[in-house]
Amino acid sequence: MQVSVVILNWNGKNYLQQFLPILLEKTRLSYVEIVVADNGSTDGSLQLLKEQFPMVRIILFDKNYGFAEGYNKALSQIKSDYYVLLNSDVEVTDNWLLPLVDYMEKHPQTAACQPKILSYFNRTHFEYAGAAGGFIDYLGFAFCRGRIFGEVEEDKGQYDDPMNVFWTSGACMMVRAGLYHKMGGFDADFFAHMEEIDLCWRFNSRGYQLTCVPESMVYHIGGGTLQSEHPFKTYLNFRNNLLMLYKNLPKKQLKSVFFKRAILDYLAVFQFLASAKPKNARSILKARSDFRKMKPNFLDKRKENILFSTATSFPMIYPRSIVVDYYLRKKKKFTTLKFDQKPN
């Protein structure tokens, strides 16, 4: 068995200097290799790796290909049984990898898994990007076990049971190498953001499971490349979310979902304007405009996803609007949500 821990780096020299020694110290396993794929960094990352971390395998790219295509290019050059996609701003803990490996070895229907992800700066609380496993509602809005929108829960052990989820976080995701390539990897047209949810939707639709394994735990800084409300991040999240829905939704749901999404997206525009954030408001409008332009190019991807889908239902998709539940019904914790079928 071979496991490759792969960090995709872009101008993350400071993070590499801070977290790579911890990763090497806490991942001393004979079947594990550490790889850094560099997305054309200009901050001295390469020199740092060569001088201070000669034991780390380096894959070099000539420019920044983004998260999605960058990982696709890197993983095409790595032969392994499992990939662990790890952000450069993640601090691993003792025994972080073994529970993930053990779970994947014992559950062949699990395509990917993630650890419990806590905040690096607020270490008693979950971290925004992944927490204890990810879900979406029927309109495509993402949330987590332990985090709904801006409401991040304290970790009190309430989610310490392994649980099947709809998506696993790209901040720290262990995935079967063969399945990753069989599914075509990340969608490079996404560039960054939402690509792991899109990939996990394909796993779900073909009958595989995704799981959070809380026995494994890491700390994540988050927003290491783009801050949470950076206008470009807002743009990518809204555009890619619409592309993901178009690629994966059954035909009978398309019109209804996109009509309701339009209403909520324009409400978000007004919310940003009311909050004196006009750049974010414009980002949503541009995202919707660019989605319409890109939509014809995604028709073949949509046809392929529908053709190969074997799932007849998705119990991990929340059947109600998480926006309505959060803002109007004040449901701020995962335990207050009611799925039609309880995730197991």
Domain of 81: which CATH number?
3.90.550.10
Instruction: Using a pLDDT cut of 70, give the percent of the chain over it.
Output: 97
pLDDT band at 34 (very low <50, low <70, confident <90, very high): very high
Residue 338 inside a domain? The answer is no
Share the mean pLDDT of the chain.
Answer: 95
Say if residue 136 is in the same domain as residue 284.
Answer: no
What mean pLDDT do residues 79-86 have?
98
Mean pLDDT check: name the lowest of 93-97, 144-148, 187-191: 187-191
Say if residue 76 is in the same domain as residue 152.
Answer: yes
Residues 6 or more apart from 326 whose CB is under 8 A from it?
148, 149, 151, 332
CB 73 within 8 A of CB 19: no
Q: Does 226 have pLDDT greater than 80?
A: no
pLDDT band at 344 (very low <50, low <70, confident <90, very high): low
Question: Is the pLDDT higher at 229 or at 38?
Answer: 38
pLDDT given at position 136: 97
Terminal Cα-to-Cα distance of the chain (whole angstroms) = 28
Residues 6 or more apart from 132 whose CB is under 8 A from it?
116, 117, 126, 144, 145, 146, 159, 163, 212, 214
pLDDT digits over 120-172, tens only?
A: 999 999 999 999 999 999 999 999 999 999 999 999 999 999 999 999 999 99
State how far the Cα of 15 lies from the Cα of 42, in Å rounded to an integer.
14
Residue 167 inside a domain? The answer is yes
Say if residue 53 is in the same domain as residue 124.
Answer: yes
State how far the Cα of 28 lies from the Cα of 213, in Å rounded to an integer.
20
Say if residue 35 is in the same domain as residue 89.
Answer: yes
Residue 282 inside a domain? The answer is yes
State how far the Cα of 312 lies from the Cα of 203, in Å rounded to an integer.
13
Instruction: Using a pLDDT cut of 90, give the percent of the chain over it.
Output: 94
What mean pLDDT do residues 84-100 have?
98
Pairing of strands 147-148, 151-152: antiparallel
pTM score, whole prediction: 0.95
pLDDT digits over 278-314, tens only?
A: 999 999 999 999 999 999 999 999 999 999 999 878 9
pLDDT band at 235 (very low <50, low <70, confident <90, very high): very high
pLDDT given at position 223: 64
Alpha helices in the chain (DSSP H): 13-25, 45-52, 66-75, 98-106, 177-182, 195-205, 231-248, 251-274, 278-294, 299-308, 322-327
State how far the Cα of 166 lies from the Cα of 143, in Å rounded to an integer.
10
What is the DSSP code (8-state) at residue 125? B
Residue located via tokens 């197991």: 344
Q: Does 271 have pLDDT greater than 80?
A: yes
What mean pLDDT do residues 317-322 have?
96
State how far the Cα of 245 lies from the Cα of 264, in Å rounded to an integer.
15
pLDDT band at 343 (very low <50, low <70, confident <90, very high): low
Q: How many CB atoms lie within 10 A of CB 335?
A: 10
Say if residue 267 is in the same domain as residue 136.
Answer: no
How many residues in total does the chain contain?
344
Q: Does 251 have pLDDT greater than 60?
A: yes
Rounded to the nearest 10 degrees, the angle between the axes of helix 278-294 and helix 251-274 is: 160
Say if residue 135 is in the same domain as residue 53.
Answer: yes
State how far the Cα of 147 lies from the Cα of 165, in Å rounded to an integer.
14
Residue 212 inside a domain? The answer is yes
Q: Does 72 have pLDDT greater than 70?
A: yes
State how far the Cα of 197 lies from the Cα of 135, in Å rounded to an integer.
9
Domain count, the chain: 2
Residue 37 inside a domain? The answer is yes
pLDDT band at 225 (very low <50, low <70, confident <90, very high): very low
Residues 6 or more apart from 27 whose CB is under 8 A from it?
5, 34, 92, 96, 97
pLDDT given at position 252: 93
State how far the Cα of 314 lies from the Cα of 250, in Å rounded to an integer.
12
Residue 100 inside a domain? The answer is yes
What is the CA 341 to chain-centroid distance, rounded? 23
Residue 136 is part of which domain span? 3-220
